[in-house]
């Protein structure tokens, strides 16, 4: 008998970014494995609603939008730059989703809900009891830890309430999926959740997306793709852009987010003719653009919480066979260095990043080695067609093999934990 799965997510196709792409692949691959999948989501608004009036973003005819996807209507349709306004926006979405669930008459075998925002995870908990079924909680970021990490929300009492809510969700979830190995350590250490309850399913690429050849053609070009927010340390990006201009090295920025305007203003004020800002595009076009460059840039600010994350752009660069130069630490640094897919600046400054870029600029053979390492690693660890089995095993109550635990994880470590 076909099992029915309800996917609950604020972010879904055609939204750009890691969250929307993750949920789209979960939906499509579960369907390909003969599950009956419905999605509860909202209208696409990230990074802003206007871009989705362009039909280029609605480019996947394989999704059964009419029958499988329910989009709740939200009065506040603006994805605000204000953290307080954004919290109210999240709450409105959650409230409308809960109303839908309370009056829904369908039956489901599994609820799969993804967070952040944490309020959507609460929707999943309501759905668990409303439909009397099990809930699989998907954690893409530690929340509210990430709020503290960006330093814009310092209401201690509210943070405390969110932390208690976070613990409740971990306890009440039947199973937990994380997209970073380091999230396991945090959840176990801070909330005493047993390891056997937590599985690892990273963001990944589809087989058809993996570039079969080394990236880059024409003049030497550096790429930054993705969010330019409070977590990404825009100061390093701006200083690096200025340094690259001195060497006449092109920097393409296909970005969006809270700090993009600041970056654009900086480039204009300093007459950085080497910087090319591109509008957000579909994932297919984004990967195509990345593949025309020679190096991919990734940055994160130095707060401890960001040592646990693996930015989606790292996987995208590796998918496109693009060597990486990063100013990151923790798990992201471990992945880049262990795979020999790039170089990480230990000092977290633009000057050292420039040094590494110039080093790779002068060594095309080393870039080719890194490109090959990236492709091999993506094939083994960051492939959706394989990683979806983590979720399928949980739906079917199977016990996965240790080999399915993912990158930078050993059997010995798992047994010790």
For the chain, what is the domain count?
2
* 314 pLDDT tier (thresholds 50, 70, 90): very high
Instruction: Please check whether residue 186 is in contact with residue 142, taking contact to mean a CB–CB distance below 8 angstroms.
Output: yes
What pLDDT, on a 0 to 100 scale, did the predictor assign at position 409? 47
Question: Which is more confident, 345 or 159?
Answer: 345
Residues 196 and 219 in one domain: no
More confident residue, 216 or 313: 313
Domain that holds residue 280: 207-380
How many CA atoms within 13 Å lie on the side-chain side of 331? 25
- pLDDT tens-digit profile of 67-87? 999 999 987 655 555 667 778
304 is written with which tokens? 């401890």
Question: Using CA atoms, how far apart are residues 42 and 325, in angstroms rounded to an integer?
Answer: 36
Q: Is pLDDT at 92 greater than 70 in this prediction?
A: yes
* Cβ atoms within 10 Å of 400's Cβ, excluding its own: 14
Q: 3-state DSSP call for residue 113?
A: strand
Looking at residue 230, its pLDDT comes to 81
Lowest mean pLDDT among 71-85, 116-130, 285-299: 71-85
- Which residue's entry shows tokens 């016990």? 399
The pLDDT value given to residue 132: 97
Q: Smallest Cα–Cα separation from 280: which of 60, 58, 57? A: 57
Lowest mean pLDDT among 80-89, 332-341, 397-406: 397-406
Same domain, 174 and 229: no
The more confident residue out of 232 and 14 is 14
- The answer on pLDDT for 154 being more than 70 is no
Mark whether 317 and 197 lie in a shared domain: no
pLDDT of 221 above 70: yes
Same domain, 175 and 48: yes
Over pLDDT 70: what percentage of the chain? 91
* DSSP secondary structure code for residue 121 in this structure: H
Phi, psi angles (nearest 5°) of residue 93: -60, -45
Residues 314-338, mean pLDDT to the nearest whole number: 96
Task: For residue 410, name the pLDDT band (cuts at 50, 70, 90).
Answer: very low
Clarify whether residues 286 and 372 are in a common domain.
yes
The pLDDT assigned to 155 comes to: 72
Same domain, yes or no: 122 and 169: yes
- pLDDT at 98 exceeding the cut of 60: yes
Which of 77-81, 249-253, 296-300 bottoms out in mean pLDDT, i.e. has the lowest?
Answer: 77-81
If asked whether residues 354 and 217 sit together in one domain, one would say yes
Same structural domain for residues 223 and 198? no
234 shares a domain with 130: no
Same domain, 167 and 279: no
Kindly state whether residues 159 and 171 are assigned to the same domain: yes
Reference 334, options 278, 276, 409; nearest CA is 409
Backbone angles phi, psi at 255, to 5 degrees: -135, 175
Q: Which two tokens stand for residue 251?
A: 């920097």
Give the residue from 135, 123, 50 showing the smallest Cα distance to 93: 123
Higher pLDDT, 204 or 258: 204
**Residue 144, preceding bond cis, omega within 30 degrees?**
yes
Distance CA 82, CA 62 (A): 36
Q: Tell me the pLDDT band of 152, cut-offs 50, 70 and 90.
A: low
The pLDDT of 131-157, averaged and rounded, is: 80
Q: Give residue-wise pLDDT tens across range 370-393.
A: 999 999 999 999 999 999 999 999
Q: What's the CATH number where 108 sits?
A: 3.40.50.2000
Q: Which pLDDT score, from 0 to 100, does residue 10 have?
A: 96
* Residues 235 and 275 reside in one and the same domain: yes
Q: Is the pLDDT of residue 408 over 60?
A: no
Of the two residues 297 and 144, the one the predictor is more confident about is: 297
- Provide the mean pLDDT of the chain: 90
**Both tokens assigned to 391:** 């979720």
Query: How confident is the model at residue 404, as a pLDDT?
Result: 47
For the cut 70, the answer to whether the pLDDT of residue 413 exceeds it is: no
| Count helices and strands in the chain by DSSP H and E runs | 16, 13
Question: In this predicted structure, what is the pLDDT of residue 47?
Answer: 86
Mean pLDDT of 147-171: 80
Residue 33's pLDDT is 97
What b/e string do you get for 222-231 counting C-beta neighbours within 10 Å, with b at 16 or more? bbbbbbbbbb
């Amino acid at each position: 008998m076909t099992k029915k799965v309800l996917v609950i997510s604020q972010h879904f196709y055609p939204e750009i970014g890691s969250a929307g792409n993750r949920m789209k692949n979960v939906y499509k691959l579960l369907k390909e494995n003969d599950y009956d999948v419905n999605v509860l989501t909202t209208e696409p608004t990230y990074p802003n609603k206007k871009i989705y009036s362009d039909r280029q973003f609605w480019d996947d005819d394989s999704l059964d939008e009419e029958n499988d996807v329910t989009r709740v209507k939200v009065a506040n349709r603006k994805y605000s730059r204000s953290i307080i306004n954004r919290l109210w926006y999240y709450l409105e979405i959650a409230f409308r989703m809960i109303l839908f669930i309370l009056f829904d008459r369908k039956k489901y075998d599994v609820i799969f809900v993804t967070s952040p925002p944490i309020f959507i995870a609460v929707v999943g908990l309501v759905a668990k009891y409303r439909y009397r079924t099990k809930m699989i909680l998907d954690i893409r970021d530690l929340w509210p830890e990430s709020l503290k990490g960006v330093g814009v929300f310092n209401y201690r009492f509210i943070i405390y309430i969110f932390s208690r809510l976070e613990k409740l969700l971990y306890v009440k979830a039947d199973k937990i999926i994380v997209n970073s190995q380091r999230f396991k350590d945090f959840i176990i250490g801070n909330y005493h959740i047993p390891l056997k309850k937590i599985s690892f399913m990273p963001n990944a690429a589809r087989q058809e997306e993996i570039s079969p050849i080394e990236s880059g053609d024409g003049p030497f070009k550096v790429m930054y793709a993705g969010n330019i927010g409070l977590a990404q340390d825009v100061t390093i990006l701006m200083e690096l852009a200025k340094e690259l201009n001195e060497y006449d090295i092109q920097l393409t920025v296909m970005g969006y987010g809270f700090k993009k305007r600041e970056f654009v203003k900086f480039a204009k004020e300093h007459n950085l003719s080497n910087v090319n800002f591109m509008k957000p595009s579909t994932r297919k076009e984004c990967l195509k653009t990345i593949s025309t460059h020679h190096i991919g840039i990734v940055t994160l600010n130095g707060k401890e919480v960001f040592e646990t994350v693996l930015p989606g752009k790292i996987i995208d660069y590796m998918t496109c066979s693009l060597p990486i130069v990063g100013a990151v630490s923790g798990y992201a640094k471990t992945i880049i260095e262990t795979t020999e897919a790039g170089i990480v600046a230990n000092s977290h400054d633009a000057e050292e990043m420039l040094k590494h870029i110039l080093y790779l600029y002068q060594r095309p053979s080393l870039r080719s080695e890194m490109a090959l390492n990236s492709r091999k690693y993506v094939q083994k660890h960051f492939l959706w067609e394989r990683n979806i089995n983590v979720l399928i095993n949980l739906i079917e109550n199977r016990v996965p093999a240790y080999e399915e635990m993912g990158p930078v994880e050993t059997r010995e470590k798992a047994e010790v934990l």
